[in-house]
A and B are shown apart, each in its own frame.
Chain A
């Protein structure tokens, strides 16, 4: 069987009454999905009946399949078009919402996998200067999206604090003048955080995000701290402090800090310990993320990397443990990747996650700005440039306009390559309504922005994650927990306008 899964031998098929859909053999049952973001789960016998065109209107399944657009002669076009609009909300708003500003390449940590290709803290020549910062903010505000999210990245952005401070104030002035909604997030290792900086960030409505890979022995191995000492202890101390400050003040409750974990080969030994640490720190979510073999990580892949199938196993172990803690009432922590997928699957809306979009978030959803004003399709694209390949550079804030960037040949190529209907395998995959193909990843792994999905680790990992989530979702004990996660997340969306609080955190490659 191919990875896409095939029909059973000697299947009787009558394609005439079937609407456009993709299917997946899940082993004993089938998953059906369609372009409009609807899905249905059928037992094998039901699937057989459906495919043979033997489903009568009296069949209990008929109403479900009809209302979800799987029966060609009984479709509600208006409802399906509405569902399509909701699912692809990002397509109807022009321009990127997420703007990642790399205010310095300097860093005081030297992470084993560091995407950001950092330089020594003494190299101030890789700091964004004021003139560039101003031009970058001007460029950001020349893009048409009514919501602007600026994410400070590095290197370690706190090493160029004066410019961070300037950008925050300047962007706020511009947002006020242009009547835009502005969201800002600092992605930092917290080692250079001070009370004064924290208060400034709170006062200017900047949210916080950091990297926390797990227990100190794991975190400190993955993320060595220049100058020695315990990087993990500093992260934990600041996370606790920021949480306390947020909970003390009603105005600050939306700025609860987020943390991202990056999975290296060493993480495989600590699945429970990592979750336990996040629970101990009262983190609302844990985001189990695979390491991308991009930039510096590609060179050390042999030492810290792993196969996509190994990651899926690790992901499932982590999710199982998170679910177990939820069931037993010991914790209510949510797993972010599952939440992103469930939002798409069960709510039929886009959660604003750039990696899983068709077309991908590159340029249309996000842009990355290097310290010198160069514009890249994404932060990963900038990392490729740092390794000497400028293919993903689409402009310069000193001389290019938004029109130049969106009209750049690279932008067009990436949009075309990452539109799943253009991908021979993705266009037939049951996970098409929820998934995405990341062109920078495929360029790095397969030397093609289009990629070759049958052998793509990206595809193996994401197909595996969707398999895990759909299988878990079928079990009522898990479904109850998933529904409660969606409800909690929905409350945050509603309280904090349509943008999920800290949405920018999901895009960070801290």
Chain B
């Protein structure tokens, strides 16, 4: 791994902010040596604190650029680089373990599926039945009666008057914001 740390030093005092702020950690990584997944994994984990950019060839060399989301300081960039380096080393271990065990994980998952299917067969085979056809004559009549009763209740309910609103709670969020604006308050 070869790497450089770029410390933010404005070239000119009058330089625009965008020209002086691209202070970032840039790391060139050999893909055959570090592995593609560990590089991508470590870079991804940095996205909580840095903007991450990857460039290069996914077979040969990848350049990882990390720009702190917070204002950059020399100490902050140093810590960022150390964090990335440590994470890359850890990612290599995580991926090595994962790859070593892939056939085992697949085998156990397969066994689990077989086991579950055997055990839960009756439940899994439960019919997705439209129940109308299975209602008895009495049940059907009862439901018809219910529907008629509920329709009457709804009619009666809709005839009731609206609830009073002394605190103006009914006003929508937009209405309240507009009112605030009108009053010169902060929206």
Contacts and interface: CB of A to CB of B under 8 A. Distances in A.
Interface of A: 1-4, 6-7, 9, 11, 13, 15-16, 18-22, 35-36, 51, 72, 75, 77-78, 80-82, 84-85, 88, 91-95, 108, 110, 120-122, 124, 127, 129-130, 134, 138, 141-146, 161-163, 165-166, 169-170, 173-174, 176-178, 180, 224-228, 296, 299-300, 402, 424-425, 428, 452, 454-455
Given A92-B116, A122-B162, A7 B41 contact: no
A75 B170 contact: no
A6 B109 CA distance: 28
B45 A3 contact: yes
A72 B98 CA distance: 12
Contact of B47 (A108, A169, A454): A454
A45 B153 CA distance: 71
Given A169-B146, A425-B45, A162 B104 contact: no
B59 interface: no
Given A21-B97, A169-B142, 19 more contacts: A2-B45, A15-B96, A15-B97, A51-B93, A81-B111, A85-B119, A94-B124, A124-B157, A127-B154, A130-B154, A146-B123, A166-B146, A166-B147, A173-B142, A173-B143, A177-B139, A178-B134, A226-B167, A452-B47
Given A72-B104, A77-B107, A85 B147 contact: no
B135 interface: yes
B48 A454 contact: yes
A77 B111 contact: yes
A178 B129 contact: yes
A94 B47 CA distance: 37
Given A130-B151, A142-B128, A224 B167 contact: yes
A79 B58 CA distance: 40
Given A92-B117, A224-B169, A170 B143 contact: yes
B166 A1 contact: no
B86 A173 contact: no
B57 interface: no
10 nearest CB pairs, A to B: A20-B101, A81-B111, A122-B162, A454-B48, A162-B153, A92-B116, A6-B90, A2-B45, A84-B112, A162-B150
A468 B101 CA distance: 30
- Secondary structure at chain B's binding surface: helix, strand, loop or mixed? helix
Contacts, number: 188
Interface in B91-138: 93-94, 96-98, 100-102, 104-105, 107-109, 111-112, 115-117, 119-120, 123-124, 126-132, 134-136
Contacts of A402: 128
B89 interface: yes
A60 B97 CA distance: 23
A54 to B, nearest CB: 16
17 contacts: A2-B87, A11-B89, A20-B97, A77-B108, A85-B119, A91-B116, A127-B154, A141-B129, A142-B128, A144-B128, A145-B126, A163-B150, A169-B143, A176-B139, A178-B129, A224-B167, A226-B167
A77 B112 CA distance: 10
Nearest to B88: A6
Contacts of B105: 20, 35
Contacts of A177: 131, 134-136, 139
Given A2-B45, A4-B45, A170-B146, A228 B166 contact: yes
B9 interface: no
B131 A138 contact: yes
Main SS of the interface on chain A?
Answer: loop
Given A21-B97, A166-B146, A177-B134, A226 B169 contact: yes
A51 B120 CA distance: 38
B87 to A, nearest CB: 5
Interface of B: 40-41, 44-48, 83, 86-87, 89-90, 93-94, 96-98, 100-102, 104-105, 107-109, 111-112, 115-117, 119-120, 123-124, 126-132, 134-136, 139, 142-143, 146-147, 149-151, 153-154, 157-158, 162-167, 169-170, 173
B42 to A, nearest CB: 8
Nearest to A51: B93
A121 B169 CA distance: 12
Contact of A1 (B83, B97, B120): B83
A228 B142 contact: no
A199 to B, nearest CB: 17
Contact of A2 (B46, B128, B162, B166): B46
B163 A121 contact: yes
B32 to A, nearest CB: 19
A93 B111 contact: no
A81 B108 contact: yes
Contact of B94 (A88, A180, A428): A428
Contacts of B46: 2, 454
B115 A226 contact: no
Contacts of A146: 123, 126
B112 A85 contact: yes
Q: Which of B139, B150, B165 has the most CB of A within 10 A?
A: B150
B120 A163 contact: no
Nearest to B135: A177
A68 to B, nearest CB: 13
B97 A226 contact: no
A6 B89 CA distance: 8
B130 A141 contact: yes
B104 A20 contact: yes
B101 A226 contact: no
A424 B40 contact: yes
A458 to B, nearest CB: 13
Nearest to A142: B128
Contacts of A141: 129-131
Given A120-B170, A166-B150, A428 B93 contact: no
Contacts of A161: 153, 157
